[in-house]
Structure 1
Amino acid sequence: MNEHRIGIIDIGSNSVRLVVYERTANGAHRVIDGSKRPARLSERIDEHGNLSTEAVNELLGTLSHFRLICAHNRTGEIRAVATAAIRNAANRTVVLDAIKAESGLDIELLSGEQEAAFGFLGMINAMDIQDGLLVDIGGGSTEVSLFRGRKLLHSVSFPFGCVSLNRRFASKGMLSDEALRALDNVALEAFKSAPWLAKAQGLPIIGVGGTARALGKIHQAATSYPFQQTHNYAIPGGDTEMVFDQLRALPLDKRSKFPGLSKDRVDVIVPGLAVLRHLYKLTKASGYIICGSGLRDGIFHDTRFPEGSMHQDVLGFSLHNISMLHPAAPMQHVSQVNRLALQLYDELEELHQLHPRARILLDAASSLFRIGASIDYYDYAKHTFYLIVNSHLNGLSHKEILITASIASYKSKSRARQQLRPYKEMLVESDYVLVCRLGTLLQLASALDRSETQALSRLTVSVTPEQLKLHAVRPNSALTVERLEVTELAPEFTKLWKLTPVLELPDYIQA
């Protein structure tokens, strides 16, 4: 399979964005370039409903710039979409024709329902979640979708967003009590047009798009959150109300210095949060979860996987993609270690009685433990930890990502604690115990294929009060290296598991 690059251009109401994806020779995908230009198209509609000539010319300049970036990256395919601002413009046909003539791009003008569907696809492929309300507050529209059992049931697009609401209700970025009541009334009337909303009670609100990401960054800054990802970040409902009140009370010059808030959202963040909090109250939501994937990701999956764009096993898909991005890891060895680690875990299940998701974390760690070798073999454990923490490992919580990274790079109890020290506020003592026990289990599985020849084709296990007997069944060699490794590992393993591992060979080999 040859490398292939796809450019996705999203002409939004607040900004215009480009993302360039690469499909590698191994079939993995990653983002290799991107750009964002502010547009505020929803603010630049005249009294006749037309997008201004100045705005169109600026948009043409941005798209020409994006085409140059795509050409520089040798992008084989460009897919460009437009949402509410152009969708609602009276002169949208003229605008789309001008773009075609100037840049050669055929713009897909998405309906509100299509926009919601692509946003759902991007989110559901990045989160292991069954039920929720997906909310995307854009610049000129707000999409809300209800999903249960990972299936999209209802979606609606409301003709207002943070930019258009700011223009309509705010004065120099400030939202008075009277203006807030008026904004709330507009939102409430709109929500009544989707009666299924009032029945979707007690679900989490999954926030995608700029308003949600901004909320996540603000909350993380306020709480000194140590993990630098907003994707899959949970926020209690009361905290969002607090952030809203604090931001609304600040004049723009002071708001621009608010920790975590980018300058291009200083004036539009308050109207966006106003809609979000009103929806939260209406549905009695259980809280907020920020999602870092949305419309552009959905369009990518639709383009890249036309025969099956929705992936049910989010974690499995993510693990495979990360593994394929690091082909320096010896795949047959990794597969063998993964198989042995899970077998050992299952054999010891009655003894260890660990958390139900512990096996999932061991599976992930034993699939990725060698990816650090793509940077440097001699210190690959350190690099593995860094890569796992900073990769898009979807399907796990932030704490679970940290634990997985520590298991995958485990060397000793003291090193694990040192590695996790920057994140200590996120962890409890039982997490360190889990890391150490699963880390040594992974070490044992790796020792059983230390020669990286998969000589141990089959293993049976028996447990005595003091020993973990590992019986090699018809091995392809005398397992000399493996026996030595198991013996060296035994003291550390015994401390944590109260069992001494012993690798036993068939009599005909020992003889």
Structure 2
Amino acid sequence: MKLGIIDIGSNSITLCIAELYKEEGYFKILDEEKETVRLGKDTLADGTLHHDRMQKALLTLKYYKSLCDTLGVTKIKAVATEAVRKAPNQEYFINLVLEMTGISIEILSGDEEAYFAYVSTVATFTLKDYFMMDIGGSSLEIGLVRNRELVAAVSLPLGAIPISECFNVSDPLTPETSLALKRYLTTQFQAIPWLASHQNLPLIGVGGSLRNISKIHKKMVDDPMTSNHHYTLSNETVKNLYGYISKMDLKQKRKLKGLSKDRADIFTGALGAVLELMNVTNACELVISQYGIRQGLIYDTLVDGNLSKLHPIDDSIQYFMNIGQLDAKHPHHVYHLSQKLLLQLEPLLVLTQNVSDVFKVAALLFNVGTSLTFENHYAHSFYMILNGGLTGLNQTDLLRSAYVAALSHKSQYKLPLAYKALLSDAQIQEAQQLGIIIKLAKTLDRGLDHNVYDVSVTMTENTVIVKTNAKKFPYLEINKVYQIADAFEKVFEKKLVVTN
């Protein structure tokens, strides 16, 4: 099934085309497009949409319909948010679009908008408790998530466009204007009772303005990671960014690396809203989401509204295996053996946070690079894990997983210096240990026939003895293990012995 999702927002109109494999439980993005229409700008006092803005929206939707037809889309789901939701001439606009393009538009309520933003977070993060905010052109949605359930939500008319128009944030903010904006936003947020009663939670930020925050900061610190998903900033960092950008004029903001030129005139207001929400909730950190309402609608369609089916890390692993057409039996057996080894070698290991997730991704996706070419597949695996859209891990853990996967084939794999700077010495040592453990497990299944089905480990002062349980004598496997014994000894400073 090919599904086209069109999000008619107040600032931009976006299209996402995905192919859904519902039985297998995953989808693949085929194409995306975005046009800054500013449908929520130049409205009349009562919210009536401006004729010229509607015409630009119509031209954009005609183009999207043509693109969907060309790619064989079987279903188009178009949704509109705050600008159309509050417009007295919404019926005229909806009928015009239907008549001229055949696209039927559904107007989302504020609660529905918050819900689909929430779906995109629960599908791509493993966090259990957090606040969520989605700031669009005309509205701001806030949600409270407890134990991965959306327990409260609100939609406010505090989008980037109305904030910009009220406080003229395209110009450098004077101290008086900055204080007025702060007081206004704080008053709005403090009127929501459940914000104050749930403090010190992370805040997941959804939407283009939030992604621009991460892009700007990544440029400032020369962060080499390409994805914005799960990029994390402290309250102090957000405060410093706001102080820096709020002093810029429009020309300076349009030259600011990481900031989209079409958001330059409204970005300060959006950033101010993020900062004040963090202050009111004492948010411990801002976590950026790469995904939003469009992906929320896709995930909701994929699982028919049953969100309990969503498991970010496992779903991502399965996605990689499916698109790479990998035989899952070998990596799953490697994961089984490597878990046994990991548990029994634990006294020798340097383990840091989230090691189980890092290890799982590396052990199951170590050979994903073979879907490109077998030659240098370890390097392909590193790149694909790091840049292929795997969700559920923060950016550091994603890098750790990619590094471990590469080390599981090439023990001397050199991590590029820009990436190495993101890891601690302990994490680098840990990666080398995890890599050789997976390499050992891979070698014990070198025949791909699961001949070795279990292992036990004993240790002496100078030796690690691995005893195999096998269906038949593992001559090939034992011979191959001794070929990596030097690499094992270099990492653990103990000789490796294998018996059956």
TM-score (norm 2): 0.94
Which of 343, 359, 362 pairs up with 2:359? 362
Which moved further from structure 2: 346-355 or 103-112? 346-355
Specify the alignment match of 1:446 in structure 2. 442
How much does 1:188 deviate? Answer: 3.1
Tell me if 1:231 matches 2:226. Answer: no
Q: 1:7 to 1:489 in 2, by over 3 A?
A: same
Amino acid of the structure 2 residue aligned with 1:386: Y
User: Residues of 1 paired with 2:130 and 2:57: CA distance?
Assistant: 35
Q: Deviations over 1:330-374 (max 9, x none)?
A: 322112111111111112223436235323322210100111001
Q: 1:422 to 1:376 in 2, by over 3 A?
A: same
Which of 59, 62, 66 pairs up with 2:60? 62
How much does 1:212 deviate? Answer: 0.9
User: Residues of 1 paired with 2:353 and 2:177: CA distance?
Assistant: 50
How much does 1:311 deviate? Answer: 4.6
Specify the alignment match of 1:199 in structure 2. 197
Specify the alignment match of 1:509 in structure 2. none
3-state SS of the aligned residue for 2:133? strand
How much does 1:167 deviate? Answer: 2.0
User: Residues of 2 paired with 1:207 and 1:436: CA distance?
Assistant: 34
Specify the alignment match of 1:455 in structure 2. 451
User: Residues of 2 paired with 1:154 and 1:26: CA distance?
Assistant: 32
Specify the alignment match of 1:216 in structure 2. 214
Specify the alignment match of 2:491 in structure 1. 496
Specify the alignment match of 1:479 in structure 2. 474
Q: 1:280 to 1:171 in 2, by over 3 A?
A: closer
Percent identity of equivalent pairs: 29
**Residues 125 and 311, structure 1, Cα contact 8 Å, conserved in 2:** no
TM-score (norm 1): 0.92
Cα root mean square deviation, aligned: 2.1
Q: 1:481 to 1:88 in 2, by over 3 A?
A: same
Which of 431, 446, 469 pairs up with 2:427? 431
User: Residues of 2 paired with 1:214 and 1:456: CA distance?
Assistant: 50
Q: 1:280 to 1:488 in 2, by over 3 A?
A: same
1:115-130 equivalent positions in 2, closer than 5 A: 115-130=113-128
3-state SS of the aligned residue for 2:28? strand
User: Residues of 2 paired with 1:38 and 1:92: CA distance?
Assistant: 19
Specify the alignment match of 2:344 in structure 1. 347
3-state SS of the aligned residue for 1:183? helix
How much does 1:464 deviate? Answer: 4.0
How much does 1:501 deviate? Answer: 3.2
1:279-428 equivalent positions in 2, closer than 5 A: 279-311=277-309, 313-327=311-325, 329-352=326-349, 354-355=351-352, 357-410=354-407, 415-416=412-413, 418-428=414-424
Amino acid of the structure 2 residue aligned with 1:504: T
User: Residues of 2 paired with 1:304 and 1:128: CA distance?
Assistant: 19
Tell me if 1:19 matches 2:16. Answer: yes
Number of aligned residue pairs: 499
How much does 1:310 deviate? Answer: 4.4
User: Residues of 1 paired with 2:411 and 2:450: CA distance?
Assistant: 31
Which moved further from structure 2: 458-467 or 477-486? 458-467
Amino acid of the structure 2 residue aligned with 1:226: P
Which moved further from structure 2: 48-57 or 259-268? 48-57
Specify the alignment match of 2:138 in structure 1. 140
3-state SS of the aligned residue for 2:445? coil
How much does 1:429 deviate? Answer: 1.4
**Residues 25 and 303, structure 2, Cα contact 8 Å, conserved in 1:** no
User: Residues of 1 paired with 2:409 and 2:375: CA distance?
Assistant: 17
Amino acid of the structure 2 residue aligned with 1:125: A
Q: Deviations over 1:276-331 (max 9, x none)?
A: 2222222222221111122111111111110523456321222222222211x332
How much does 1:465 deviate? Answer: 4.0
User: Residues of 1 paired with 2:169 and 2:443: CA distance?
Assistant: 67
User: Residues of 2 paired with 1:359 and 1:33: CA distance?
Assistant: 34
How much does 1:160 deviate? Answer: 2.1
User: Residues of 2 paired with 1:280 and 1:353: CA distance?
Assistant: 35
User: Residues of 2 paired with 1:201 and 1:96: CA distance?
Assistant: 41
User: Residues of 1 paired with 2:411 and 2:381: CA distance?
Assistant: 18
**Residues 131 and 142, structure 2, Cα contact 8 Å, conserved in 1:** yes
